[in-house]
Structure 1
Amino acid sequence: MNLFMENMNEEMAINILKWKYEEPYDFYNNEITYESKQELLDHSYYAIVNEFKELIGFFCIGKNAQVPIGIQFGAYIDDFVDMGLGMNPNLVGKGNGFEFCSFIINFIKETYKSTPIRLTVAKFNLRAIHLYEKLGFVLEDEFSTDLIEFITMVKKETY
């Protein structure tokens, strides 16, 4: 699969907001609202497409990659590049994650040079956690809301 990064546009944002994941991953489902669309269009999100311009997924960097309540628990105090991502639900669980995530990580490494990468994932998402471990991420922190537990994972290697 050849992957390419594109600037997020409104059509892509609406498409992403319509994605529906199966349980238990339906936690990641969104609703199309003005606010959710504006977040995807705020220039911290990037679309990932294949050679046919099909939307494979997206990623974001910075504050939008953080779970806001994690700030209260001190989960984001160190100097990292925060990475968030989502893959088209038709492609998840089919062996595409390693290539997809590696593409994003390589972009971040090239852009942010020696800054370590951090991501936040729902603790129940063992499939994603296993992938992140294969990519060299290690557990850094844990926090929870009333409904869900999260972990942060970091990739601290030097670049």
Structure 2
Amino acid sequence: MGACRRMLYEFEPVNERYAREILSWSYGKPCSSHDEPAEGLLAVLLAPENNYHAILKDGELVGFFCAGPDARVPGGNYDGDALDIGLGLRPDLVGQGLGLGVVKAILRFARERFSPAAFRLTVATSNRRAIRVYERAGFEWECLFEGEGGAEFAQMVREAEG
């Protein structure tokens, strides 16, 4: 008899309640670049074509992710067939050791839903904590680029399988 695996995280399309909660989050320094004004972003989070999903644990919102063009940062090179992933963990949960498990759950879900050949994500090089998590999840540095406002970003990729 096989072992039963309990799903740690569940995914649902972002609804208005989740979107408003996500837009209320504030990361502070050094991640204040993630704190953007909510104007116009509510519609972006709710648009089905943007593939925003709430990440839930025991029915509680712990983060979100998006897949596809909305996960891209202007200035990057997004050629190729990798699925772009963007994500955010609820600010009070950052630094509590949840990142790797959340990233692995996102990759599992996205692999089943989108069947990509590879995953790509874009992260500010100043976000060292996130970069360490992505490296532990099997992502490798692909390139660096300067985004709008002069911030430096890294694009990281990994194969979808594995």
TM-score (norm 1): 0.90
State the AA in 1 paired with 2:79.
Answer: I
User: Which residue is equivalent to 1:41?
Assistant: 46
Q: Is the 8 A contact 1:49 1:55 kept in 2?
A: yes
Q: Distance in 2 between matches of 1:32 and 1:137?
A: 30
State the AA in 2 paired with 1:56.
Answer: V
User: Which residue is equivalent to 1:104?
Assistant: 106
Q: Secondary structure of the residue that 1:11 maps to in structure 2?
A: helix
User: Which residue is equivalent to 2:57?
Assistant: 50
Q: Offset of 1:7 from its aligned partner? A: 1.4
Please list the CA deviations of residues 24-73 of structure 1 after superposition, one character each: whole Å capped at 9, or x if unmatched. Answer: 0111112221x21111011210001111x211000000000001222xxx
Q: Distance in 1 between matches of 2:34 and 2:14?
A: 19
Is structure 2 residue 117 aligned with structure 1 residue 115? yes
User: Which residue is equivalent to 1:150?
Assistant: 153
- Segments of structure 2 that go 5 or more residues without pairing to the other structure are 1-6
Q: Offset of 1:22 from its aligned partner? A: 2.5
Is structure 2 residue 139 aligned with structure 1 residue 137? yes
User: Which residue is equivalent to 1:61?
Assistant: 67
State the AA in 1 paired with 2:153.
Answer: F
Q: Secondary structure of the residue that 1:103 maps to in structure 2?
A: helix
Please list the CA deviations of residues 131-156 of structure 1 after superposition, one character each: whole Å capped at 9, or x if unmatched. Answer: 10000000011110333000100012
Count of residue correspondences: 153
RMSD value over aligned CA atoms? 1.5
Is structure 2 residue 130 aligned with structure 1 residue 128? yes
Q: Percent of pairs identical after alignment?
A: 39
Please list the CA deviations of residues 98-124 of structure 1 after superposition, one character each: whole Å capped at 9, or x if unmatched. Answer: 111111011112223351000000011
